[in-house]
Amino acid sequence: MTMNDRILVVDDESVLRNNLARYLRLQGYEVDTVGSAEAALAALESSSIGLVLTDLRMPGMDGLTLIRHLQTEHPDALTVLMTAYASVESAVEALRAGASDYLLKPIALDALGRKVADLFEKRELHERVRRLRQEVRERVGIDLVGHSPAMAAVESLIDQVAPTPANVLLEGESGTGKEVVARALHERSDRADRDFIAVNLAAQPDTLVDATLFGYEKGAYTGATGARDGVFRAARGGTVFLDEVGELPIATQTKLLRVIENREVVPLGSDKPRKVEFRLVAATNRPLRRAIEEGLFREDLYFRLNVMRIELPPLRQRLDDLAELSRRLLERHARSLGRSAPRLTAEALTRLRGHSWPGNVRELSNVLERSVLLTQGPWIDAPNLPDLDTSGRTSSLREAMERFERSHIQQVLSHCQGDKRQAAEAMGVHLATLYRHIERLGIEP
């Protein structure tokens, strides 16, 4: 047992408290006893107590008042109220005041043992969940970074919408942190103790996207050797994050609309609807309004997704956050390498500020990761940074790749006489993907 598993028995009847203490010690716990609530508060000031087992009626301060004190002064301590059958209403009041549980007198020792063991086990599970969430925050940067006006507006919207069940649409350029915001919405909601499931729809082949989202039955298609839940059933009341939702084929959009409206899915290979419960957050890096005008996205689905819209600013519009972002990213990359985090010199930070950051925070992260790998000392100076210029252009390699990509798309479009659907098929990409590249590269019709 650890110090945090110590138990304090509070009862003015010495025979009862000694009997309870004797039994709990036989179960392997370290136990202290006191005869009043006032003595309990004094004991808690001088030692670490994991659980307080207190009687309700005692001279001076009663057990209910003690529990209220513990909630404000020692909120980490578990509390169990002991009360007689005639005072069940006091037990309910104690639970409302923050008690972990209650026991009815006369106390059955085996019931006491089970209840104490269950409470300690639940506390350990909650602590494990807390540690895992912290690891996730550190790994994916779930804590939003920055105090610029643009990020303050995003934070305010997250705080407003997170406690609600409303669907949220996140818009912003690639690399602006849409998944980070989606995770923040989940963590700040009442679903935080349930699953967060993220799906990048741009990375899903059209042939598998329905199976991923809606699930399938055994034998639904070649290779389906067993049944599998889709993401909506797997969420079980958690949050589903659909990244690049604009990439969904029209037929899948129709099915998604039915899931949102009816809260039920029909797995592939089945005709039986299954009820689902989830909170939906979707994201796109291009305006869906244009996709609607071009017949690539359903307007009714757009309205269902866009109950609440949050637009994420590009990094070039929040350069006031660059220093803090860089420090956090350097700490993360250094930690993954088992090193102490280097710091940026003023010259290095000035050089970073001069770049246009077309890849946003994701590009900044990549630049700093390479810098950490190539830097041995405690400082990263301007010469230690990768090839960045200050004229708003990217590196020569990126420029060369974009020139090739632009030329190739223009040639295919010319060959297809401007038919974008035919050109997309010729290049083996989704039509929505081609539109995105055309917009990004500034290719004129």
Asked if residue 390 is part of any domain, the answer here is no
Give one word for 13, left, alpha or beta, with left for phi > 0 and alpha for psi -120 to 50. beta
Asked if residue 296 is part of any domain, the answer here is yes
Count Cα neighbours of 73 within 13 Å in the Cβ-side half-sphere.
14
Instruction: Give me 339's structure tokens.
Output: 């090193």
Rounded to an integer, what distance in angstroms lies between the CA atom of residue 148 and that of residue 138?
21
Asked if residue 392 is part of any domain, the answer here is no
Neighbours of 69 (CB within 10 A): 16
Q: How many domains does the chain have?
A: 4
Question: For the domain that residue 352 is a member of, what is the CATH number?
Answer: 1.10.8.60
Question: For the domain that residue 97 is a member of, what is the CATH number?
Answer: 3.40.50.2300
Asked if residue 290 is part of any domain, the answer here is yes
**pLDDT means over runs of 10, the chain (445 residues):** 75 93 93 94 88 93 91 86 75 82 90 92 80 59 74 92 95 92 92 90 83 87 79 93 94 95 91 92 91 93 95 93 92 88 92 91 91 88 76 48 72 82 80 82 74
Asked if residue 389 is part of any domain, the answer here is no
Maximum Cα–Cα distance for the chain, whole Å? Answer: 95
Range of the domain at 120: 3-131
Please list the alpha-helical segments (H only) found in 8-108. 14-26, 37-46, 63-73, 88-97
Instruction: Give me 285's structure tokens.
Output: 């890096």
Residue 357 to residues 55, 207, 260, 363, 405, Cα–Cα distance (Å): 63, 34, 36, 7, 20
Asked if residue 137 is part of any domain, the answer here is no
Asked if residue 346 is part of any domain, the answer here is yes
Helices 63-73 and 88-97 meet at what angle, rounded to 10?
Answer: 10
Helix, strand, coil share of the chain (percent; to 5): 55, 15, 35
Determine the pLDDT at residue 260: 96
Question: For the domain that residue 402 is a member of, what is the CATH number?
Answer: 1.10.10
Rounded to an integer, what distance in angstroms lies between the CA atom of residue 345 and that of residue 340?
16
Instruction: Give me 40's structure tokens.
Output: 């309990």
* Strand, coil or helix: 29: coil
Co-location of 250 and 212 in the same domain: yes
Determine the pLDDT at residue 218: 84
Nearest of 399, 423, 422 to residue 410 by alpha carbon: 423
Q: Which of 273, 290, 313 is the last residue of a domain?
A: 313
Instruction: Give me 298's structure tokens.
Output: 């359903």
What is 156-215 written as a DSSP string? HHHHHHTTS---EEEE--TTS-HHHHHHHHHHTSTTTTS-EEEEEGGGS-HHHHHHHHHE
Co-location of 97 and 31 in the same domain: yes
Determine the pLDDT at residue 422: 85
Q: Which residues contact 85 (CB under 8 A, 6 or more apart)?
A: 104, 105
Q: Is the peptide bond preceding residue 106 cis, with omega within 30 degrees of 0?
A: yes
Co-location of 238 and 146 in the same domain: yes
Co-location of 124 and 22 in the same domain: yes
Asked if residue 228 is part of any domain, the answer here is yes
Nearest of 329, 323, 417, 410 to residue 369 by alpha carbon: 329
**What sign results for the dihedral spanned by CA atoms 130, 134, 139, 141?**
positive
Neighbours of 22 (CB within 10 A): 12
Q: Which of 131, 163, 186 is the last residue of a domain?
A: 131
Q: Which helix (H) or strand (E) holds 405?
A: helix 396-415
Bridge partners, 279 (sequence order):
239
Determine the pLDDT at residue 258: 95
Co-location of 336 and 300 in the same domain: no
Determine the pLDDT at residue 442: 76
Q: Which of 131, 150, 172 is the last residue of a domain?
A: 131
